[in-house]
Structure 1
């Protein structure tokens, strides 16, 4: 059972992970289908999964990491990563997310990301949220487009996945764009 609701939406809620969620996190972050869409390609240890407990993580606990839940059932994880140098000065974060393969196509990544981005701008006072997706990950790119992110370029052959170099699509969203409701028109 995940921790108490932190952010609540119509179809999902975002909650801090607890000790009881460590096996869910490890099992899913090891899943080949999830790994194929993420830049993290090594096995996740129990210690690494435990770093996601409590809702904050990272070098200075500036990164937000929350379970994506349908009712009380975990179906994914969403991050606002604040690990880049000067992220605090630039008021920036990187959005990342994953959803269990059995729940793909239900809109949970979009709903969770929308809650996280709203929190980033309205509560954290961020200026910019970045995101990226492997060029082949059409579903993830569509999530970002629905939320109003602008494709800003391609990092050519920037990720090494399954023995080959692949391109990474780079996206950005400014607070001013979010405030004008661009995400509501997609």
Structure 2
């Protein structure tokens, strides 16, 4: 099974497995309605955050039974967000593809941390996991995430109109993607 070498360090951040003690930091952003507006689920309770932290302490392993890897994004000892790789095609029925995603504390918005962390997780997906394609799906009105995709060099491949039943309403769905042989250009932006 694929494994990502941890921790991943960038100029300012450390991407690592969740660990006991992260609960307060994660609760600080995962409990905020405006932060979870564009991700599945509702604002989390402290108990749900404790479960999330415990479940996601994976040491970089991606298993066939649970093909996602969620990593804490740490800045100066504080978890400010998390990033996700969700693999497809581990069973050999499809080319390896990975969906990526991110969620960050509102007080760090606009400082480039999401782009920096998304770039690092994309690099790991291509270089360590060996995926063929990395993609992200988002509501077109989520302009901050659309900008992250564009900074990674992803192209907007499609917008599906009212194609997603999400949080009790039909929403549009934009798909951004990048192929492995395009990554060096995307990694330089």
TM norm. shorter chain > 0.5: yes
* Residue 57 of structure 2: aligned partner: 53
How big is each residue's C-alpha offset from its partner over 1:73-93, in whole Å with a ceiling of 9 and x where there is no partner?
A: 2110001012x4x24532111
* Residue 3 of structure 2: aligned partner: none
| Residue of structure 1 aligned with 2:81, choices 60, 76, 80 | 76
Q: Quick check: 1:17–1:67 contact (8 Å CA) kept in 2?
A: yes
How big is each residue's C-alpha offset from its partner over 1:105-137, in whole Å with a ceiling of 9 and x where there is no partner?
A: 111100000000011111111111110111111
Q: Quick check: 1:80–1:95 contact (8 Å CA) kept in 2?
A: yes
Q: Quick check: 1:128–1:173 contact (8 Å CA) kept in 2?
A: yes
Q: Quick check: 1:57–1:65 contact (8 Å CA) kept in 2?
A: no
Q: What are the ranges of 5 or more consecutive residues in structure 1 without an aligned counterpart? A: none
* Count of aligned residue pairs for this structure pair: 177
Q: Quick check: 2:32–2:43 contact (8 Å CA) kept in 1?
A: no
Following TM superposition, the consecutive aligned residue runs of length 4 or more in structure 1 with deviations greater than 4 angstroms are: 55-59
Q: Quick check: 2:68–2:85 contact (8 Å CA) kept in 1?
A: yes
Cα distance, 1:59–1:30 mapped onto 2, change above 3 Å: farther
Normalised TM-score (structure 2) = 0.83
Q: What SS does the aligned partner of 1:28 have?
A: helix
Q: What are the ranges of 5 or more consecutive residues in structure 2 without an aligned counterpart? A: 1-5
Within 2, Cα distance between the matches of 1:109 and 1:152? 21
Normalised TM-score (structure 1) = 0.84
Within 2, Cα distance between the matches of 1:60 and 1:71? 33
Single out whichever of 71-80 and 20-29 deviates more from structure 2: 20-29
Q: Quick check: 1:117–1:129 contact (8 Å CA) kept in 2?
A: yes
Q: Is residue 102 of structure 2 the alignment partner of residue 97 of structure 1? A: yes
Single out whichever of 49-58 and 86-95 deviates more from structure 2: 49-58
Within 2, Cα distance between the matches of 1:58 and 1:28? 27
Q: Quick check: 1:13–1:68 contact (8 Å CA) kept in 2?
A: yes
Compute the displacement of 1:43 (Å).
4.0
Q: What SS does the aligned partner of 1:20 have?
A: coil
Cα distance, 1:103–1:159 mapped onto 2, change above 3 Å: farther
Within 2, Cα distance between the matches of 1:43 and 1:75? 16
